[in-house]
Amino acid sequence: MKLITTIIRPEKLADVKAELFRMGVTGISLSRVQGHGGEHETVEQYRGTTIVFEFVEKVRIDIAVSEPFVEATIAAIIAGARTGEVGDGKIFVQPLDRVIRIRTGEQDVQALTPVSAGEVQARAIRIAKGEPA
């Protein structure tokens, strides 16, 4: 089991989510974050004052997956997030020692299996084909 954490551009979130759902990865957590990487600082004028924005708005996605989904999850994130420009983000993969689903007490791989994975994947495929959800 792995915890995959990725930092992406906010405008790429919908594309990344669509790619993840297409791969059958549905359990994700999102956070709005700010960070500084390879991007240049932005300088703007506001009411005659120069303001330097050192940190850029990003989205952090945390996804816990079982081993068979690790490479598919990484590929989906890259496919949805890549623009080829500085600031596309990073993917971090870390081992998970233990996972417990609070509602049922299921542990590890059983706790990672989405309750509605089939439904979500079928819906994502219909949307990708332009059909009504």
Inter-CA distances, 1 with 67, 111, 113, 116, Å = 5, 11, 11, 20
Q: Residue 123 pLDDT more than 70?
A: no
Paired tokens of 17: 């989510």
Distances (CA, A) of 115 to 28, 39, 78, 106, 112: 13, 39, 25, 12, 9
Establish if 79 belongs to a structural domain. Answer: yes
Judged against a pLDDT cut of 60, whether residue 117 lies above it is answered with no
Question: Does residue 43 or residue 81 have the better pLDDT?
Answer: 81
- Asked if residue 133 is part of any domain, the answer here is no
Classify residue 98: in a domain, yes or no. yes
Q: What is the mean pLDDT of residues 60-89?
A: 94
84, part of any domain: yes
Average pLDDT, the chain: 87
Instruction: Summarize the confidence of residues 79-93 as an average pLDDT.
Output: 95
Q: Does some domain include residue 43?
A: yes
Q: How many domains does the chain have?
A: 1
- Domain holding 98, by residue range, is 2-128
The answer to whether residues 117 and 28 touch, using CB atoms and an 8 Å cutoff, is no
Cα pseudo-dihedral 22, 130, 16, 8, rounded to 10? 180
Q: Is residue 66 part of a domain?
A: yes
Give the pLDDT of residue 1.
Answer: 93
Alpha helix segments (H runs only) across the chain: 13-22, 70-81, 109-112, 117-128
Q: Over 80: is that where the pLDDT of 2 sits?
A: yes
- In percent, the amount of the chain with pLDDT more than 90 equals 52
Q: What is the CATH number of the domain that holds 85?
A: 3.30.70.120
Tell me if 101 is assigned to some domain: yes
Summarize pLDDT for 15-64 with one digit per residue, the tens: 999 999 888 888 899 999 998 877 777 788 888 888 887 788 999 999 99
Q: Quote the tokens at residue 57.
A: 């708005």
45 occurs within a structural domain: yes
